[in-house]
Chains A and B, each alone.
Chain A
Amino acid sequence: MIRVDQARKSFGTLVAVNDVTVDIPAGGVTSIIGPNGSGKTTLLSLISRLAPMDSGTISVSGLDVTATASRDLAKKMAILRQENHLTMRLSVRDLVGFGRFPHSQGRLTSVDREHIDRALEQLDLTPMAEKFVDELSGGQRQRAFIAMVLAQDTDYLLLDEPLNNLDMKHSVETMKLIRRMADEFGKTVVVVVHDINFASCYSDRILAMRDGELMCQGTPADIMTPDVLRTIYDIDIRIETIGDQRIGVYFT
């Protein structure tokens, strides 16, 4: 379980995360949605210790993220940010291999190699494992990075807008993969998504943020209503039920 208690973070006068308290239970996929600048990414950064908190406490699976050794946390949770710019030329396999660093500190064992191969396999990267990351297309590169955090083999997986730069096919594949992570491997996945419909179709829980505060949380059925969405986005969104999925129509 991820426990966030009164977490607060400000940049100058801007309060990005304003005393947020939330429990994210273990297992399943939890999506964080909200307009630009609502604090989604910052909250994820606080949980993943990438940014220091101003006040409050956060624990992941009982480990206080500010007090626990970074190396121990790295075996518990993995975070993938949106911008992944590399200065060096790495092959896909090498990149995925870095995911094993918390376990092997750079000296790969046969167990590590199995993890690497499995991660490559799961993301259909085996054919291009020896290619350099900078030779890949945007979608392939994104998958390579996801494979890296997968190889890290953690119970918790935090993804910050993994659908950025992905076309529809790869977006759907990535979300399906995220679903599989939770269902087949029992991981707890927290994902920041922009598109409410992806959140609606693929998550078990949705956290909705606005202006640094947690507006509401619940199942997709709870959140995907015109009233709730209006308080979050300030626009009228019609909800259509297609099959058993709720789809927000906000184009017109």
Chain B
Amino acid sequence: MATSLVTTTATAVPGTPVPSTAAGRSRTALPLTLGIIGVLLLAAASMFVGVSDVTLPKLIAGDTNAWDILLISRVPRTIAVILAGMALAVAGLIMQQMARNRFVEPSMVGTVESAMLGILAVTIFLPATPVLGKMGVAAVAALVGTWIFLTIISRLPTRNTLLVPLVGIMLGGVISAITTFFAYRYDLLQTLNTWMIGDFSGVLRGRYELLWIVAALTLIGYLAADRFTVAGMGADFTTNLGLNYRTIMRLGMSIVALITAVVVVTVGAIPFLGLVVPNLVSLIFGDNLRKAVPWTAVFGAGIVLVCDIISRTIRYPYEVPVSMVMGVIGASFFLVMLIRQRAKNRL
């Protein structure tokens, strides 16, 4: 098994056969194309949902007002949704591989909370810092938070599946309490909410472009995906395969931290996405990481698109933050996962 890991460099879990033949590739390619078409259809639908009247006839008629709204608001918003969805889902997958645990994702292990603490610190001490600078500080903070989490769980004597997310959630809670305290102290609770509650309603042309950074990060994540799986098996295992454990872990943590920081700064946190999508993908397609990454991206984009459309229509003409819709869906999904786990352990 170990040798197959090295030679094919494409497997998630030992024991899963890797379809590396041309036939295997074409079999996976067709559904994936359909998935991408599905996302594009959702994206198209997203263009036409909103308070202002943007319809196909108007666009064809050359209504400048409709075109303006489409190009300034709807298109950027849809792109932002797709980018954030893909990136967060892939970040969740990488996180799960590194922690070797299906029940974690960046918003459940202190990464997101640390990013917020970082942004808050910049806002308090250097309020004039440009967005890119805030993002950098947030990324460094997120990195530190993720590192603390991974360090704690590596010290756990037994890799108890459920203990890992518990520790993560609590670590996040503690960091969050520090953030809330200072936000309260400096009267920044309102500002804090804009990062805490993910919302695409503020996305306009010129105010979301930083999100393209995460597209690049997602790609890197895809290319290095199988390495994270290997690293998740432990330092000894990784070294045995001739890979550098520390380098891989650093790369993984950096990708996760950067994606988190960029998304939190531009649109705010979207909870549970990184948990739901990889699990959904593995439920449907099994545990083949090479196959899983593109699907994770597709599902991530698709689910956030659906949630965003719901959040725009559920209380029309008002909008509900997308993170609240995702929060309810994600928490319900997580509960189902846990109850299935319980049923499994019974026997």
Residues of chain A at the chain B interface (Cβ within 8 Å):
11-12, 14
Contacts and interface: CB of A to CB of B under 8 A. Distances in A.
B130 to A, nearest CB: 54
Nearest to B343: A12
A14 B347 CA distance: 8
Contacts of B346: 11-12
Nearest to A14: B347
A193 B189 CA distance: 63
A70 B86 CA distance: 58
Interface of B: 346-347
B345 to A, nearest CB: 12
A12 B345 CA distance: 12
Contacts of A11: 346-347
Nearest to B347: A12
Contacts of A12: 346-347
A24 to B, nearest CB: 30
A11 B346 CA distance: 8
Contacts of B347: 11-12, 14
Contacts, number: 5
A24 B346 CA distance: 31
B93 to A, nearest CB: 32
5 contacts: A11-B346, A11-B347, A12-B346, A12-B347, A14-B347
Contacts of A14: 347
A11 B345 CA distance: 12
Q: Which 5 A-B pairs have the closest CB atoms?
A: A12-B347, A14-B347, A12-B346, A11-B347, A11-B346
A135 to B, nearest CB: 22
A11 B347 CA distance: 8
B208 to A, nearest CB: 51
A14 B346 CA distance: 11
A58 to B, nearest CB: 24
A12 B347 CA distance: 8
B223 to A, nearest CB: 44
Nearest to A12: B347
B339 to A, nearest CB: 15
A217 B129 CA distance: 84
A54 to B, nearest CB: 16
A12 to B, nearest CB: 6
A221 to B, nearest CB: 38
A1 B347 CA distance: 33
A133 to B, nearest CB: 24
Nearest to A13: B347
A165 B346 CA distance: 25
A11 B343 CA distance: 11
A113 B347 CA distance: 43
A103 to B, nearest CB: 36
A36 to B, nearest CB: 15
A185 to B, nearest CB: 39
A136 B347 CA distance: 33
B145 to A, nearest CB: 32
A210 to B, nearest CB: 19
A98 B280 CA distance: 50
